[in-house]
Amino acid sequence: MKFGGTSVKNASAMQNVLEIVKSRKEQNPVVVLSACSGITDKLIRLIQDASKKPAKIMMKEIEAIEIHHLNIIEELIRKKEIKKHCSENVQNMIQQLVLLVEGVSLLRECTPRSLDAAVSFGELLSSTIFEAACRDKKLDSVFLDARHVMKTNSDFTQASVDFKETKNLANKNIYPLSNKRKIIITQGFIGSDDNGVTTTLGRGGSDYTAAVLGSVLNTDEIQIWTDVNGVLSADPRIVHNAVTIPEMSFDEIRELSYYGAKVLHPDTIKPAILRKIPVRVLNTFHPENEGTLITPGTKVKSARIRAVHLKKNCINLSVEVPHTQNPEIQAFEILSQVYKSGIKIVSTSIVDNKIFVTIDNPNESTYNSIKNILYGFDYKIENVSLLCICGVNLLKDSDILQKVTIILNRFEPKSVLYGFSSNSLIVSVPNGNGAGALNAVHKLILDDK
Ligand code: ASP
Ligand code: MG
């Protein structure tokens, strides 16, 4: 069970997490926690500033971090002894942070290694408090320092996991506790290298920790607890009646994420994908919600639309190559230059003597490259939004395609692209029509319910 930063941001959020862990203790969970939301950012700023300023100036910010955590203890923990002991632990960690800040300030140098040492306090603090709160509520919990299990290389700030060693250590350090039905509380995001030096897995790395631990322990399930009701059928800021997708496949997640939807990044759950361990996305603030179960293959067999996503700020570039000399060869030549220029390409096609390129998020240098590459050619640029329609067997179902076509005709579609499987379709529409088109296609999902 992994809980993200917003799930542990303060005492009342942690209280929710406590209830959830308590109600699921029969599942014999390993609990992986993020830092309280905002703390990782604060620690990064702190340690980077320390390399430019005298340490004394930084003490106010360290104190603010300390107070934030001591306040949670004050609100959350009842028993005097546990409260006292936990506060002392927090103060000790803050003392270590002070030493680190003083060291970096003295050297006037913040290395990636120092950065990892500093940010690790975020997860260490949140998990220390949460574990004490568990004991306070009479849960049979135990604190596990993730650095004793998660072994990585020394690529500080984005370390790679050594799966073999991590599996060995998990067998040695986690199984015995788990067999005693202890609730294990540990940190996401952090690990240690061969020399025991603290490393981190890259921003947002706690999901990855959960997937790695789930994979090496071969758990029944990996739960990602966050602040939304699972994976939604659309961005609720654009489509107010977006619904939770109850279950979907790893492939669908990959496809949605490829088009820019804010879902679990497929790379973060890769260890789970490889071992075919189901991943469930749940809402800490609405645990009664079923969330989304992500599995190797979906149960949905008949064709249907599952999610829509709007990719704004794209352009359609169309170029006409004169028929006079070898238009195909010229077209390929132009496309190869476009690829080499580093422009963010969504798709390309050549039809007869015309080239069509869809480009994501163009900036000044994109326009300059286009100007240079296409000097002397006749070309047109249209600003568009891309409507990414993802589902199951979409392109194999003429009925769905017909419905989508009829709906989108009202929104002046500019081009239609096929996704990288039969499960997605991308339609570009003028920027101003994006939200309307998205809502109209999303209605097909709701009608299907
Ligand atoms: N606390 C880390 C971060 O904010 C890791 C995580 O939350 O997943 O990047
Ligand atoms: Mg975080």
Q: What are 144-176's pLDDT values in tens digits?
A: 999 999 999 999 999 999 999 999 999 999 999
Task: Identify the weakest region by mean pLDDT among 61-75, 103-117, 129-143, 350-364.
Answer: 350-364
Instruction: Indicate the top mutation candidate among 33, 127, 203, 264 to test ligand 1's pocket, ranked by most ligand atoms within 8 A of CB.
Output: 203
> 378 alpha carbon to ligand 2 midpoint, in Å?
48
Q: How much of the chain exceeds pLDDT 70, in percent?
A: 99
Predicted confidence at residue 394, as pLDDT, reads: 87
355 strand-pairing partners: 319, 350
Nearest CA to 293 out of 236, 243, 224, 228 is that of 224
Token pair 């300059």 in the structure block, residue = 368
Predicted confidence at residue 288, as pLDDT, reads: 96
> 33 alpha carbon to ligand 2 midpoint, in Å?
9
> 156 alpha carbon to ligand 1 midpoint, in Å?
15
Q: Is 189 in the pocket of ligand 1 (CB under 6 A)?
A: yes
Predicted confidence at residue 260, as pLDDT, reads: 76
Predicted confidence at residue 180, as pLDDT, reads: 94
Q: Is 188 in the pocket of ligand 1 (CB under 6 A)?
A: yes
Given a contact cutoff of 8 angstroms between Cβ atoms, the answer to whether 384 and 421 are in contact is no
* pLDDT of 329 higher than 80: yes
Predicted confidence at residue 16, as pLDDT, reads: 97
* pLDDT of 416 higher than 80: yes
Q: How much of the chain exceeds pLDDT 90, in percent?
A: 85
Alpha carbon distance 377, 449 (integer Å): 50
> 122 alpha carbon to ligand 2 midpoint, in Å?
9
Predicted confidence at residue 15, as pLDDT, reads: 98
Predicted confidence at residue 401, as pLDDT, reads: 92
Predicted confidence at residue 65, as pLDDT, reads: 98
Alpha carbon distance 424, 251 (integer Å): 11
Q: Is 37 in the pocket of ligand 1 (CB under 6 A)?
A: no
> 170 alpha carbon to ligand 1 midpoint, in Å?
22
Cα 400-402-406 angle, rounded to 5 deg: 120
> 288 alpha carbon to ligand 2 midpoint, in Å?
24
Alpha carbon distance 334, 373 (integer Å): 7
200 strand-pairing partners: 190
Q: At what angle do helices 11-23 and 55-76 cross, to 10 degrees?
A: 50
Q: Is 233 in the pocket of ligand 1 (CB under 6 A)?
A: no
Alpha carbon distance 434, 6 (integer Å): 30
SS (H, E, C) the chain: CEECHHHHCCHHHHHHHHHHHHHCHHHCCEEEECCCCCHHHHHHHHHHHHCCCCHHHHHHHHHHHHHHHHHHHHHHCCCHHHHHHHHHHHHHHHHHHHHHHHHHHHHCCCCHHHHHHHHHHHHHHHHHHHHHHHHHCCCCEEECCHHHCCEECCCCCCCCECHHHHHHHHHHHCHHHHHCCCEEEEECCEEECCCCCEEECCCCCHHHHHHHHHHHHCCCCEEEEECCCCCECCCCCCCCCCCECCEEEHHHHHHHHHCCCCCCCCCCCHHHHHHCCCEEEEECCCCCCCCEEEECCCCCCCCEEEEEEEEEEEEEEEEECCCCCCHHHHHHHHHHHHHHCCCCEEEEEEECCEEEEEEECCCHHHHHHHHHHCCCCEEEEEEEEEEEEEEECHHHCHHHHHHHHHHHHHHCCCEEEECCCCCEEEEEEEHHHHHHHHHHHHHHHHHCC
Q: What backbone torsions phi and psi does residue 383 show, to the nearest 5 degrees?
A: -80, 130
Alpha carbon distance 87, 72 (integer Å): 10
* pLDDT of 187 higher than 80: yes
Nearest Cα residue to atom 6 of ligand 1: 204
Give the pLDDT band of residue 252 (cuts 50, 70, 90): confident
Tell me what the mean pLDDT of segment 248-277 comes to: 87
Predicted confidence at residue 163, as pLDDT, reads: 98
Task: Check if 2-227 and 304-447 are the same fold.
Answer: no
Given a contact cutoff of 8 angstroms between Cβ atoms, the answer to whether 189 and 209 are in contact is yes
Nearest Cα residue to atom 5 of ligand 1: 204
Token pair 């955590």 in the structure block, residue = 69
Domain 2-227 falls in which CATH fold? Carbamate kinase (3.40.1160)
Q: Is 191 in the pocket of ligand 1 (CB under 6 A)?
A: no
Neighbour count for residue 161 (Cβ, 10 Å): 22
Q: Is 5 in the pocket of ligand 1 (CB under 6 A)?
A: yes
* pLDDT of 38 higher than 90: yes
Q: What are 205-243's pLDDT values in tens digits?
A: 999 999 999 999 999 999 999 999 999 999 999 999 999
Q: What are 297-318's pLDDT values in tens digits?
A: 867 778 889 999 999 999 999 9
Q: Does domain 304-447 have CATH number 3.30.2130.10?
A: yes
Which atom of ligand 1 approaches the CA of 205 most closely? 8
Which atom of ligand 1 approaches the CA of 208 most closely? 8
Which atom of ligand 1 approaches the CA of 209 most closely? 8
Nearest Cα residue to atom 8 of ligand 1: 204
Predicted confidence at residue 418, as pLDDT, reads: 79
Average pLDDT, the chain: 94
Cα 407-413-416 angle, rounded to 5 deg: 100
Q: Is 411 in the pocket of ligand 1 (CB under 6 A)?
A: no
Q: Is 234 in the pocket of ligand 1 (CB under 6 A)?
A: no
Q: Is 130 in the pocket of ligand 1 (CB under 6 A)?
A: no
Instruction: Indicate the top mutation candidate among 34, 37, 119, 207 to test ligand 1's pocket, ranked by most ligand atoms within 8 A of CB.
Output: 34
Q: Is 200 in the pocket of ligand 1 (CB under 6 A)?
A: no
Tell me what the mean pLDDT of segment 425-440 comes to: 95
Ligand located closest to 43 CA: 1
Give the pLDDT band of residue 422 (cuts 50, 70, 90): confident
Residue 336 CA neighbour count, 13 Å, CB half: 6
Nearest CA to 74 out of 133, 7, 140 is that of 133
CA distances from residue 277 to 187, 294, 300, 435 in whole angstroms, order as listed: 21, 9, 18, 36
Q: Is 34 in the pocket of ligand 1 (CB under 6 A)?
A: yes
* Domain coordinates in residue numbering, the chain: 2-227, 304-447
Task: Identify the weakest region by mean pLDDT among 9-18, 214-223, 259-268.
Answer: 259-268
Give the pLDDT band of residue 64 (cuts 50, 70, 90): very high
Ligand located closest to 202 CA: 1
Task: Identify the weakest region by mean pLDDT among 47-56, 90-99, 255-264, 283-292.
Answer: 255-264
Predicted confidence at residue 259, as pLDDT, reads: 80
Tell me what the mean pLDDT of segment 135-148 comes to: 97
Which atom of ligand 1 approaches the CA of 35 most closely? 1
